[in-house]
Each structure stands twice: as C-alpha cells, then as structure tokens.
C-alpha cells in the first residue's frame, strides 16, 4: 500500500465471506486451461447501513452501584441514605412511561453504557433517596431514574453531555425535598454549565447539559471521564453525603492526528469497509479479502484486529521490506503501472516485515473477469504465510492507502489502536 489504508467491520455490518476452497473457478473470458491452479473468485456479502435508530454499539459494562448515608441521627432525628444502581427490568417500563426523558439506547439493556466511536448512552440507572428515624424505621422513600447521552466530536476538543434525573415515585414524608446535580470531570478537562437543582415531587425532571472541554496543555492526548453528584436536602433530616455516578468510560482526546484535535471513545473498535464494486479500490479490496480468508492469521477480523503503526519511519521500513526487489512488477497485468500491495498493511503493527522479507509472503495476482474479481496464487502459498503481497494497479493501491489515511483521522487512530477490516460487495 502506498500510503494509509484500512477497512471496516463491526456490529451492524454483515461480512460473511465465502471461499470456494480448493475449487478451480474459471473466469468467463479466460479459457479454463489458462487459469492457474488455486484460483478463487472473490465473494463478499452486502453491507447493511447504520441509521440513527440502529447504531453499531458495544456494551461497556454495568454502571457502578453505590450507597451513602448521613451521620447517624441524634435521638429523635432522622437520617437519609442515597443508593445508585440499575433499575429492575420490571420497573423499567413503568418508569419510562412516567419520564419525559428518552434516549437512543432505550431499546438496549438498562443499567449499562452503550457506545460507539463518538456516542455513549446510559438508561435505566436508579437513584433512591430514603429516610429512617432514630429507631431505623423507614419513614420516606423517593425513587429517581438517571438517563444520559454523550456526543463526542472527532474534530473538536469539547463535547456535550445531557443528563436527566426524573423522580418516578415517592412514599412517606418528603415535604421540602430538593435535589442538586453537579457535573465534574477527571483528567485534563474543565466543565461548564453542568448543574441543575430544584424542589422535586413525582414527575419532576431535572435536566443538566454539561459542556466538557479538554485542556491537554503540553500533552498530545489525555483520558477524560466526567462524574455527577446528586445532593439531597430536606428539612429535619440529617444531610446525606451526595450520591455519585460516573460519565461515559473510554473517552480520549488528542491532537496527534489530522489538522484539528478531537475526541473519541477508545472502547469501541472502528471498522472501515472497502467495496469490491468500488472502481477506485475494488482490486485492492479483493486482495485483502483473499488474505483475510486464505491466510491463517485472518488479520482485520473481529478475532484478529489490526493495530495502528504510528511511526512514519517504521511504516516505510515495513513497506520496503515486504515490497523489496524480489517483487517483479508485470505491467501487462495492470497497465500502465503494476504495483506491490502488502497485507497486513505497512501502517499496522501486524506488518509481515516482523516475520522476514517479502519473499516469505504469499504472492498473488488480482484481476477482474466480467463482474467478478479473481485471485491467482503465484508462489504456491500454503496458507501458513503471515502476509500477502499482491499485484495491484498503482491507482487502486494509492486509493486504498488514501482511504486508510482518511479513516485514521476520522476515527482518531493513534499508535496501537485497534481497527477492523471489512470487504463488502
């Protein structure tokens, strides 16, 4: 590959690839006798497209639970406790009908973070305020629902978080109860406008829109996580220590790639899809498809993601090692210029250069007959090779490299970051 490139596959993208194992497939326009043994036709499934209602997301695990209580009350006094934890599923539906808040992850499991590279969502987190008298008897309970959405921007060092606290029910003596919600952040960051407060009763919604700013200083990257405190006040009740929840996990901001700084969620592994029907990159994509399916490592799949090589110098060395003088271009195959396209990419930690020179890689010719791509092995590969180098038109090679470069910036891939490769029809 001439510059950067990658490919994408993740939740929501169907990438079931079938290979005609050990079957000789003859191109329509090529006589069967002329087809080298081992030639296969490239077959890939069509991709499904992401919509706002069906995001590709992963779970970041259950939100943290906690309970805090006020100092034990003096004789005749009352003490409050605050508990935070996932709501029971049976309560979730009734809570949602009483709450004005709604999130894009409402259809997903409650009480845990759901996220992709630039979004995070939590719903179904319960907060309970309870009051006991000096004898330990419960005299009041108020229940609340916490929902939160986070929208990151890969071109900005700031983002917005929207949190809603909805009082869903109450029993006992709750007169004068007020709640204050305050946002803060951990890491190189500042928060503005992250507060809301007021008296509450069943149905009350307190909304907090926090603006978070990364303050990297002399650093080029930093991990940031917000948190929210919930303070309760009620006349005649010993004040309770605030309840607390954490914001979305995995947020990282950097100024290392692209023209502008930006922020993404590193817990989500991005995927770049290359299409076999794309005139610009189809030939290169067909070569990667063969390597993913025929070589033992299956680089770029969910089980074996690729990882970004951030060093320009190492990437150049990788490329020179794989596409060395033992690769002999055949310009009649790819006029006007045949080129060496390596996989795994030189810009990946998995580059075949770590295993030795390019002549140890499987070498293939990629060509099109009719509407299909075909792969013909040139050096009798066994499938045990750790890399591939393919004869690809220089234009397709360069275009695929450009796609990886754009993908790297858009997804803010830093050195060591994982990504996946999907070849679609």
State the DSSP string of 349-402: TT-GGGG--GGGSEEEEEEEETTEEEEEESS---S--S-EEEEEEHHHHHHHHH
Note the pLDDT tens digit of each residue in 266-319. 999 999 999 999 999 999 999 999 999 999 999 999 999 999 999 999 999 999
Q: Give the separation between CA 205 and CA 203, rounded to whole angstroms.
A: 6
Same-domain status, 110 and 244: yes
Single out the residue in 224, 240, 265 at which a domain terminates. 265
Note the pLDDT tens digit of each residue in 369-423. 999 999 999 999 999 999 999 999 999 999 999 999 999 999 999 999 999 999 9
Question: How many Cβ atoms sit within 10 Å of the Cβ of residue 170?
Answer: 17
End-to-end CA, the chain: 21
Do 276 and 44 meet the contact criterion of CB atoms below 8 Å apart?
A: yes
pLDDT the model gives residue 410: 97
pLDDT band of residue 62 (cuts 50, 70, 90) is low
Specify if 45 maps to a domain: yes
Same-domain status, 244 and 274: no
Same-domain status, 310 and 378: yes
Same-domain status, 194 and 256: yes
Specify if 6 maps to a domain: no
Same-domain status, 354 and 250: no
Parallel/antiparallel/unpaired status of strands 66-69 and 112-115: unpaired
Specify if 15 maps to a domain: no
Note the pLDDT tens digit of each residue in 73-122. 444 567 778 888 765 443 444 444 444 457 899 999 888 899 999 999 99
Question: How many Cβ atoms sit within 10 Å of the Cβ of residue 78?
Answer: 18
pLDDT band of residue 347 (cuts 50, 70, 90) is very high
* DSSP class of 151: E
Taking Cα atoms as reference points, which of 124, 127, 171 lies closest to residue 148?
124
Same-domain status, 159 and 256: yes
Same-domain status, 255 and 276: no
Radius of gyration of the chain (CA): 28
Specify if 261 maps to a domain: yes
**Domain coverage including residue 92:** 58-265
Same-domain status, 278 and 409: yes
Single out the residue in 248, 265, 282 at which a domain terminates. 265
Specify if 306 maps to a domain: yes
Mean pLDDT of the chain: 85
| Tokens 């303070």 sit on residue | 231
Taking Cα atoms as reference points, which of 314, 302, 209 lies closest to residue 13?
302
Single out the residue in 265, 284, 317 at which a domain terminates. 265
Number of domains, the chain: 2
Taking Cα atoms as reference points, which of 140, 132, 141, 138 lies closest to residue 77?
132
Same-domain status, 174 and 321: no
* DSSP class of 49: P
Global confidence as pTM = 0.82
| Tokens 């030795």 sit on residue | 356
pLDDT band of residue 45 (cuts 50, 70, 90) is low
Same-domain status, 123 and 229: yes
Same-domain status, 111 and 98: yes
* DSSP class of 348: B
C-alpha pair distances (Å), 273 with each of 5, 47, 216: 11, 9, 32
Average the pLDDT over 181-196 and give the result. Answer: 97
Parallel/antiparallel/unpaired status of strands 271-275 and 418-424: parallel
Do 289 and 42 meet the contact criterion of CB atoms below 8 Å apart?
A: yes
């Amino acid at each position: 590959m001439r510059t950067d490139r990658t490919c994408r596959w993740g939740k929501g993208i169907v990438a079931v690839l079938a290979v005609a194992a050990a079957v000789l497939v003859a191109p329509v326009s090529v006589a069967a006798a002329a087809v080298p043994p081992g030639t296969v036709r490239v077959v890939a499934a069509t991709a499904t497209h992401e919509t706002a209602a069906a995001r590709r997301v992963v779970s970041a695990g259950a939100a943290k639970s906690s309970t805090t209580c006020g100092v034990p009350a003096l004789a005749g006094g009352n003490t409050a406790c605050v508990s935070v934890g996932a709501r029971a599923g049976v309560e979730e539906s009734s809570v949602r009908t009483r709450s004005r808040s709604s999130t894009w992850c409402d259809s997903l499991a409650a009480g845990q973070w759901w996220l992709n590279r630039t979004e995070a969502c939590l719903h179904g987190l319960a907060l309970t305020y309870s009051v006991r008298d000096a004898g330990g008897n419960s005299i009041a309970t108020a229940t609340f629902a916490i929902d939160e959405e986070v929208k990151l921007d890969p071109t900005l060092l700031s983002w917005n978080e929207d949190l809603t606290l909805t009082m869903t029910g109450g029993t006992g003596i709750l007169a004068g109860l007020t709640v204050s919600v305050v946002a803060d952040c951990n890491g190189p960051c500042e928060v503005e406008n992250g507060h809301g407060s007021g008296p509450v009763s069943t149905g009350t919604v307190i909304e907090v829109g926090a603006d978070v700013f990364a303050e990297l200083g002399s650093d080029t990257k930093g991990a940031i996580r917000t948190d929210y405190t919930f303070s309760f006040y009620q006349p005649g009740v010993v004040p309770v220590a605030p309840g607390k929840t954490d914001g979305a996990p995995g947020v990282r901001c950097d100024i290392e790639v692209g023209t502008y700084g930006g922020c993404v969620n590193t817990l989500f592994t991005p995927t770049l899809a290359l299409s076999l029907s794309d005139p610009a990159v189809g030939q290169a994509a067909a070569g990667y498809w063969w390597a993913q399916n025929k070589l033992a490592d299956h680089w770029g799949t969910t089980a074996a993601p690729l990882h970004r090589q951030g060093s320009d110098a190492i990437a150049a060395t990788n490329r020179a090692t794989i596409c060395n003088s033992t690769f002999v271009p055949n310009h009649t195959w790819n006029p006007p210029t045949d080129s060496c396209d390596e996989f795994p990419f030189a810009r990946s930690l998995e580059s075949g250069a770590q295993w030795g020179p390019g002549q140890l890689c499987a070498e293939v010719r990629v060509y099109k007959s009719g509407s299909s791509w075909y792969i013909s092995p040139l050096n009798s590969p066994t499938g045990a090779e750790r890399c591939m180098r393919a004869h690809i038109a220089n234009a397709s090679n360069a275009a695929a490299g450009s796609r990886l470069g754009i993908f790297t910036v858009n997804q803010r891939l830093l050195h060591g970051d994982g990504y996946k490769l999907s070849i679609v029809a």
